[in-house]
Structure 1
């Protein structure tokens, strides 16, 4: 009985936890607890800490650092991002091939390219013609079938790119795929119709060059500009200024505009479609 009473008294013993000021020994905080509540108290604190830790891990990005943790939502997000990146890569590849085709046009290559698109992917198809049809197309002295092409394109009128005089006509046999127009100094170069700028940059041979993509597979190219007023990707209206007449590039012997008109990757004689 005496031993039991002694154990009971020990359980009823109280402990005091005190926090003191290190210099003045002033009591800042005190906490009393009985011996019998020490172990349950420690367990309770442990449970609380464990619960808080689990909540923090569950509702914060910390869970991503747990080895082997499989977050379904995060995996779904990664899959969507991978698909998005793949689509972007396809679009970039399509744009690269399109720009390559525009560059071929501006360099005046005889073998034109035609773009075909499908499900976000672009393919390039080489258009080849026999010798007889090529000679027919490249003969600048024969007027183009402007009425028929105008009907296919769906246009009735094209603005003149420059108020000036034609000094050199188109000669497809010699690789001159456009016309040269002389104009006054600082004259504005204007868009022949509405479209989007698909190329606006400098090249050694053609200087400051800008190309516009118009509806119905028509492209217009303006070379040797003193300066360009529009950037790639810009939408322009018919008659809007896109450059200033100049003499840039090596393939020029004086201030003028070299202007080209292409329909479905085939060069046209601008003089057959525009009144200068």
Structure 2
């Protein structure tokens, strides 16, 4: 789509691109959403791909994913990692309703910052206990928990001129046992509900992450494996206003799915030590 309000493009921004931020600017990475709908509030685009940020770097402490890492790059990286929960990275990539052209240009950071309920990169990073590093226009930076970044449908905590620089997945989370459930109306459709459960090896804990069916990510943490009734109470504790409604499902439908999938995840993770 032609963005007829845009009158300028910064092709080679400074290393800290927020320093020249002005009202009407928009960050350009993959551009798969940016060029798909009218953007009447934009007058200038700042091209982040020119900065050459590394796609992903693995080390003993975990995995650092650059905000401009493409979905294709992340998908191809996942099998090279020896952490058990890294399989969730490919699962998240496969949850996109996207053509190969989108896969090759859409970015991890773009999907997170778009902050839609069904954003699969939000699901993956929240479930794997990531932190996001944000660069502010004044040169400062802050690190936030991935679970606190998205606050509603297409709403997040970014301030004007602030940018997501990279995502850090801790090795401890990547070593966990991981189980997921996803529901969509069609095989390759938008997620109606995307849930992930993780369990630390050698312990009886459970971390359950709900996304797509809620307006923002919900995490339920249990120090010991809950029984069926405790798990159901956990799902029922999600506030009514947090459940999302769109043509893919009503809040009641999504809550029903969450109860069903939560019990499947609980049983699968609880049985892990007996296999």
Please identify the structure whose Cα radius of gyration is greater: 1
Shorter-chain TM range is under 0.3
Give the structure, 1 or 2, with the largest relative contact order (CA under 8 Å, sep 6 or more): 2
